[in-house]
């Protein structure tokens, strides 16, 4: 029976980073991925994932994203690949909304420089925008996006170079504690390890049933629209954005690697799903939800829908992550529930999961993400 120091289940954004950080520390690591690397079945695809300091989610995310930036740039050097594209970032909404105020608070508490721009000012500086006067923007120059598929491949290649073994198209059927370690059974083989790391995205609750009530998959839709003036929607002319509007909370990206301006609405139709049964087609209703925002706020990009994809949020009740060691099985650590804003942190989550696997704790502040917080 093949034996390892650590097994990582799931080699997407978080899992690929965990395999890498464990392998670079000299551990004998096996990464198990049920699909290909990369793939479009989970939460880590679609050509771009935002990275930003304007973290309205909570100020304690800022130190983590600082470390994430450092690790992404280290990985760029290791891989010889461009992984981070800087465009600047915009967080926008009514000036008195929590969405706007909390993004500002995170920057203020951690001395992150930013500008506050009126709708007229943001529209003049970035003519692809057409915000109405009730929308105020925080512009932060360091924001941008990651190339998620390249990030995953770079982590896996670097992990393999450090001695890791990564299997694709291998589904984990179950796992069980075995002494102080674990036994993992797949459709192909059975393995043992001293430590188990579960980074299985929307499938995490199927492997850790205790998560089922708190890490809930949701169908999400992305669209790429043809700009009338493509020069206004490049990384040099169009910052990534998140905007709170009366129609919902939208986020988007300039054209890059594929034609089209990318946009999504957070919690698209609020459809809770089973990741194995989810409707992965994009329908007229889905397009209409995206197009209404493009037409109103980015009208020079409201051309033909060039591409469309579904992905999955895995939401927790408070939209904060779930990271920790299982109390009854300290040899097992889990990271789940990234609630649509996790990928930017993948590099540092990998470091955290390596810490938890090796030491059972980490110097990073992950108190916000305690596994037991919903039980009290």
Chain segment 50-108, per-residue pLDDT in tens? 999 999 999 999 999 999 999 999 999 999 999 999 999 999 999 999 999 999 999 99
Reading the block at residue 100, the tokens are 């706007």
Top-tier CATH class for 87-144+216-315: alpha beta
Give the pLDDT band (50/70/90) at residue 41: very high
φ/ψ of residue 69, rounded to 5: -55, -45
Residues 360-371 have a mean pLDDT of 98
Confidence of residue 376 (pLDDT cuts 50, 70, 90): low
Distance CA 345, CA 338 (A): 10
Are residues 122 and 139 in contact, defined by beta-carbon separation less than 8 angstroms?
yes
State the DSSP code for 232: G
Best CA proximity match to 202, nearest among 151, 146, 278, 268: 278
- Residue 185 is predicted with a pLDDT of 98
Pair 194, 331: CB distance under 8 Å: yes
As a whole number, mean pLDDT of residues 26-46 equals 97
CATH code reported for the domain at 3-45+149-214+319-369: 3.50.50.60
Report in angstroms the alpha-carbon separations of 79 from 8, 112, 159, 238, 348.
Answer: 21, 29, 11, 27, 17
Chain segment 16-25, per-residue pLDDT in tens: 999 999 999 9
The neighbour count for residue 26, using CB atoms within 10 Å, is 10
Question: Counting beta carbons within 10 angstroms of the beta carbon of residue 324, is it exposed (0 to 12), middle (13 to 18) or buried (19 or more)?
Answer: buried
- Asked if 147 and 85 touch (Cβ cutoff 8 Å), the reply is yes
Residue spans per domain, the chain: 3-45+149-214+319-369, 87-144+216-315
In this predicted structure, the answer to whether residue 132 has a pLDDT above a threshold of 70 is yes
Average pLDDT, the chain: 97
| Statement: residue 111 has pLDDT above 80 | yes
In degrees rounded to 5, what are phi and psi of residue 117? Answer: -125, 135
Cβ neighbours, 10 Å, residue 204 = 25
């Amino acid at each position: 029976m093949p034996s390892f120091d650590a097994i990582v289940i799931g080699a997407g954004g978080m899992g690929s980073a965990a395999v890498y950080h464990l392998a670079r520390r000299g551990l004998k690591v096996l990464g198990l991925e049920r699909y290909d690397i990369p793939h479009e079945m989970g939460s880590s695809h679609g050509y771009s994932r935002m990275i930003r300091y304007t973290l309205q989610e909570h100020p304690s995310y800022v130190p983590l994203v600082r470390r994430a930036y450092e690790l992404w740039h280290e990985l760029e050097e290791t891989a010889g690949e461009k992984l981070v594209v800087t465009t600047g970032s915009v967080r926008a909404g009514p000036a008195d909304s929590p969405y706007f105020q909390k993004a500002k608070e995170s920057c203020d508490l951690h001395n992150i420089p930013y500008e506050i721009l009126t709708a007229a000012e943001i529209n003049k500086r970035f003519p692809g925008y057409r915000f109405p006067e009730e929308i105020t923007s925080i512009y932060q120059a360091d924001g941008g996006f990651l190339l998620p598929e390249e990030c995953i491949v770079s982590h896996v290649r670097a992990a393999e170079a450090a001695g890791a073994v990564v299997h694709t198209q291998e589904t984990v059927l179950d796992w069980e504690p075995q002494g102080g370690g674990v036994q993992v059974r797949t459709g192909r083989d059975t393995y043992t390890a001293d430590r188990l790391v579960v980074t299985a995205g929307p499938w995490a609750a199927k492997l850790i049933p205790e998560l089922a009530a708190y890490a809930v998959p949701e169908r999400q839709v992305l669209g790429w629209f043809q700009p009338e003036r493509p020069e206004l929607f490049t990384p040099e002319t169009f910052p990534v954005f998140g905007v709170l509007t009366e129609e919902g909370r939208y986020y988007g990206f300039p054209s890059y690697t594929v034609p089209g301006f990318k946009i999504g609405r957070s919690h698209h139709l609020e459809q809770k799903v089973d990741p194995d049964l989810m409707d992965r087609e994009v329908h007229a209703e889905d397009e209409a939800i995206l197009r209404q925002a493009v037409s109103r706020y980015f009208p020079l990009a409201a051309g033909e829908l060039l591409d469309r994809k579904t992905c999955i949020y895995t939401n927790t009740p408070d939209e904060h992550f779930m990271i920790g060691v299982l109390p009854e099985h300290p040899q097992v650590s889990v990271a789940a529930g990234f609630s649509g804003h996790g990928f930017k942190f993948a590099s540092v989550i990998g470091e955290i999961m390596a810490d938890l696997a090796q030491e059972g704790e980490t110097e990073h502040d992950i108190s916000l993400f305690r596994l037991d917080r919903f039980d009290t």
